[in-house]
Every structure is written in C-alpha cells, then in structure tokens.
Structure 1
C-alpha cells in the first residue's frame, strides 16, 4: 500500500492488512483535534512506558530530519518499523511534513524483500539492514537506528554498495523516545565517521560522570539527562562510548561493553554481547555471549583478538541460539543477563 501525503484523502484509506490498518489508525489519530499523541518506549533499558508528545514538536523533529537529508515534496519513503513506537510514528510524521509518498511494508527482518523500485528514504534497524544488503542500493537515504551499527555490518554495507556503485547515503542515528526519534546522525556510507553530528537548535554537554546532556527546546522543553557516556569533540559533535548502566565493574576495573563489542565485531560476523555476571571474588565476571551455534572457529577468533587491556578479555565465551530483543529490534541486555545469571 502507498499513501500519497501530497494528496491525502483519509476517507479513502482502507486495508485488510494488519500493519496497513495500524498506520491508517495513526494517521487518523494525527488528524484528530488532540494536540498530543501517545508513544510507547521500547523497554530495552527498563519497563516500557507510555507518554504523551506534542504533535507540534514531532513536526519540528520531522523537519530537522527532512532538511538534513534534503528530502523534497513527492519523494518516496518506506515505513517498515512498528508504528506503536516513536521510530515508526516519525516516519509517518515526516511524510506529513514533507508531503511524501509513503510505501507501507510489514515490519520484519527482511522488509525490502518485495522492493523492486528505487525509493528516496527509509529507516531500518541493524538487523533489518543485515538481512536486506542485496536491496539497500535501491534506497537513496537510509537511516539506521534502534541499536549500534556493528563494524562487521558497516564493512558489509561498504562492500555491497561499492559493487553496485549505488548513490546511497547511509547514516546511524542517535536518539530516544524523549528526543522524538534522533537528534544526531553519523555518516556510515559513502564516508565513515566516528562522531555524531547534532541537528540545528540542539546543544550538547556532559555531566560530572561524563554522560551526555541534551538541550533541544524545539523537541523537549526540559534538558535531557542521558545515561550515555560520550566524548565531545566540539559544539555539535560527539562520540558514543557506552551506557553508564551497562558499565561492568570487574575486580575494580570499569569496562564499557559497547566498546568491546565494536572491536570484536570487526572480526566476528555473529552478534556478540559482553555481560557482567555476578561473581563473589570479582563483583562481576566479564563474559562474551555469541549468537548462534557453538563453534570452535568463533572461539579461536575470539581468543586471538588483541584487547587493549588484559581485563577486557572475557573470562568465558558463551553461545545462545538467539539473543533476546525488544519488539523494535533492540538487544534486550536485561533479559540476556537474566538467562545467564539464572544458569
């Protein structure tokens, strides 16, 4: 189903497909007299919450993204993210703001399976991109969010697009429900950057622990205090180091699992998550969890990786058939920790 927001006739929108109907329901909610809409958080770092967001601020966010990517009226976009969450809702709002043609595709790990024509804009999770590499050349502007983009996936993206000689721009996003999707983008292709660049009218700083603080009055009236440890390069660029609540304290040493995962995924194609499980002598014991069947080859690759510090080397390498994820594709570290601490 394709909805043309340049010539929207809401009374003519009907579909028997479940996801199409959800998108249509949100469009009607958006057009209602209410000045706010309800948004559900993912629950990847705690209990899922539902809170109200002003439509005006969602439009401000949509304009920031559309302006940054240079989207024009009548450009085509594809929505393949759950519309219950801010990521899916904002794809619809961007279509409103810029009068795009929105193609609706049921959220799945292969959302581009049926795509045959070129489109101008799409937002996907890393897992969706991993399973769509053969089709991403059809997208002019692709943003990837919901989880960090691994070094392995970045490499696959580069190799795939260089072969196809595609004119594709790909960015990793930084944001959260409270910032109405993302407030910063980091280019992955055709150039690879280490730092996120924030949008206009967004300012950044750090608290005493080194966590990012965000001032974005067009999106949220409050200064947002995050749990994300960062390195700030200048007034509008920062590097993400890891979440402070994910920091592992092993024998008095603080370990950032996201930094280790980024290093390991240069060598390991599988998803790898570092966890700190309770341990009497160390406080937390560092383990690496690899998604997939147990493999001597993967274990050998892990043991050969040169970690910066000796305590960065995992005490154990574990395997799990499938890493638990939230409904919108984020790794659920809390659930994964429960599995291994339970064992």
Structure 2
C-alpha cells in the first residue's frame, strides 16, 4: 500500500484489514475537522496514558524533522511503526506536511524485508534495524527511536559498507515532545551528543536532569528525569534516567552507562536492576537475554568495569526480557518478573 500525499484522493481510500486499516483510520481522523488527535504513551516508565494533541503542534514537529533531514515534496518514506503511538502517527503527519509518498509496511521485526528501491526516509526501532541490516543501503535517512541503540548494533552499522549519502540517526524525545526534539548521527559520522532542533532550548535542573522548552510543540517547560551532560545550548549527552539510578551501599550507579559497557562485548539485551538487600540497600543485578553458557560468563568476567561496585553481585539469564508493544525494555515488568521468582 502506498499513499501519495502529493496527489491525495480520499475517495480512493478503501477498507483494509489489520495495520493498513489502522493507518487509514488515523488518516481519516487527521483529515477531520477535529483540532486534536488522541495519542497513547508506551508505558515503558509507568501506566500507559492517552492524551489529546493539537494537530498544529504535530505539524510544527513534522516541519522540524523534515527541515533537519532536508526532505522534499515527492520523496519516498516508509511507515513501519504502530500508529497507536506518536512515533507512527508522526510518520503519517510528516508525509502529509511535506507531500511525501508513504509506503505502508507491517510493523514487525522485518518491516523492510521486501524493500527493493531507494527511499528517502524511514523510522525504526533498534530491534527492527537489527533484523534489517541487509536493507539499510536502500534508506537515505534512517532515524532509530523507541529505545536506546546498543553498542553492539552501533558497531554492526559502522561495519556496513554504506554510501556517504546514507545517514543514520538516533533520536531523543518522548510523547510529550511529539516524537523527538533532537537527533544524534551514527553514520557516516559517529556523534556523542544529540543536537536539538531550531526553537528548542535545553537546560539542567538542580539534580542534573534535562529541561526542555520547545514552544512549537509544547507550551510548557518539560522536566525530564534524564541525567545529561550539556555541551552547549544545542547539544547534550544522555547519561541515564534518575529514577533508574541504583543506590548500592551508598554508591549511585547509572544502569544505562553499565549496559552500554556490557553491550560492547555482548550482542544480547542486558539490563541492570537493583534488588532489595539488607546490607547494601540495593544489590546490583545483571539480567541478560540469553542462555547461560561458559562463553557468555567468561565474556562478562572480562568486562572492564570502572569501579568495583559496578560489577554485578549476581547474573540472571532469562529467555526473554519484557518489552512494551513498541519495543522498549520494560524495567518495571522485568523487576516484577525477577522479584516474583526469588
């Protein structure tokens, strides 16, 4: 299914089943007289919520992304993210605003399996990218969001023989910022800092957490729980979420930082959590999505942790780490699963 927003004829929209039908339903909602659309949060950090977003602000967000990437009328894009969430809805809105040709693909783990032509734009989750490496050369501008990009995946991307015209970015954003407000290039340049869009201001609160003011998409200053390092007024580095910080024996441990280190050695999903401990307060645990083998245990034992208290007190091997519907690791569900089995 392809929707040409440069020559959109709503009378040609027919009834489909499954994902295509969901896309058409959202498009009908978008083209209606309503000033808002409903968006569902992922629920990765709490209970999923549904809230209304003004269409004009979604358009403003779309303009920022399209301008940053240099997308123009008639370019081809591919939608392979659920339209229940802001990520999928914004792909439709960007295509509508910039008059793109939008290819609709099922949002599964191999969404571009049948792609055999060059397209200018696509957004995928890290898991989708992991299963689509042989097709990335067809995509001129790829943005990866929904979860952090592992070091293992970054290394796979960097090892690919892609042309200089193929650009791959990691995104930073949330539902409240209408998808992302900044991008960090992974290929062909490898960047450490996210660069925010025009008309987006960033600052720190007294905890060292990021504050965002993006008036084009949200009138309020958004207070995050993301610990960051600010380089200048347009660039920052993500360090970890303050609500994920583990306090073990009085030492504050940032699990995301340790997970990045582990994923340089292991391609499997790895998550650090803190379990209650009478002596330490919280005991550092490493959960890995892989079968327990001597090879894996040896690799973990060789990881150069900076501090002695960064080394996990226990390693748990499980076949599957819980995730939200859009692919994010659900730390809350993982914590419940581990504690229930103690």
Deviations 1:213-272 (A, max 9, x none): 000000000000001000000000000000011000111110000000111111111111
Q: Is the 8 A contact 1:278 1:341 kept in 2?
A: no
Distance in 2 separating the partners of 1:307 and 1:50: 40
Among 285, 292, 307, which residue is 1:294 paired with?
292
Distance in 1 separating the partners of 2:118 and 2:163: 14
> Once superposed, what is the RMSD of the aligned Cα atoms?
0.9
Aligned-partner SS, 1:305: coil
Deviations 1:269-307 (A, max 9, x none): 111111111111111111111112112111110111111
* Unaligned 5+ runs, structure 1: none
* Unaligned 5+ runs, structure 2: none
Distance in 2 separating the partners of 1:149 and 1:340: 24
TM-score scaled to structure 1, two decimals? 0.98
Among 169, 173, 176, which residue is 1:175 paired with?
173
- Residue 96 of structure 2 corresponds to residue 85 of structure 1: no
Correspondence for 1:327: 325
Aligned-partner SS, 2:271: strand
Correspondence for 2:119: 119
Correspondence for 2:95: 95
Deviations 1:62-103 (A, max 9, x none): 000000000010000000000000000000000011000000
Correspondence for 2:151: 151
Deviations 1:111-133 (A, max 9, x none): 11111111110000000000111
Aligned-partner SS, 1:174: strand
Q: CA deviation at 1:16?
A: 2.6
Distance in 2 separating the partners of 1:300 and 1:110: 32
Alignment of 1:305-324 (within 5 A): 305-324=303-322
Distance in 1 separating the partners of 2:32 and 2:199: 29
Alignment of 1:237-248 (within 5 A): 237-248=235-246
Q: Is the 8 A contact 1:137 1:166 kept in 2?
A: no
Distance in 2 separating the partners of 1:220 and 1:231: 23
Correspondence for 1:140: 140
Number of aligned positions between the proteins: 341
Aligned-partner SS, 1:110: coil
Q: Is the 8 A contact 2:164 2:188 kept in 1?
A: no
Alignment of 1:14-53 (within 5 A): 14-53=14-53
Aligned-partner SS, 1:298: helix
Alignment of 1:153-232 (within 5 A): 153-160=153-160, 162=161, 164-165=162-163, 167-232=165-230
- Residue 297 of structure 2 corresponds to residue 304 of structure 1: no
Q: Is the 8 A contact 1:39 1:85 kept in 2?
A: yes
Q: CA deviation at 1:166?
A: 6.3
Distance in 1 separating the partners of 2:329 and 2:17: 28
Q: Is the 8 A contact 2:3 2:101 kept in 1?
A: yes
Among 324, 335, 338, which residue is 1:337 paired with?
335
Q: CA deviation at 1:11?
A: 1.6
Deviations 1:138-181 (A, max 9, x none): 10000000111011100001112x2x546310000000000000
Q: CA deviation at 1:341?
A: 1.2
Aligned-partner SS, 2:264: coil
Distance in 1 separating the partners of 2:272 and 2:41: 24
Q: Is the 8 A contact 1:137 1:167 kept in 2?
A: no
Distance in 2 separating the partners of 1:88 and 1:120: 17
Aligned-partner SS, 1:118: coil
Flag the 1:30–1:174 CA change in 2: closer, same or farther, 3 A.
Answer: same
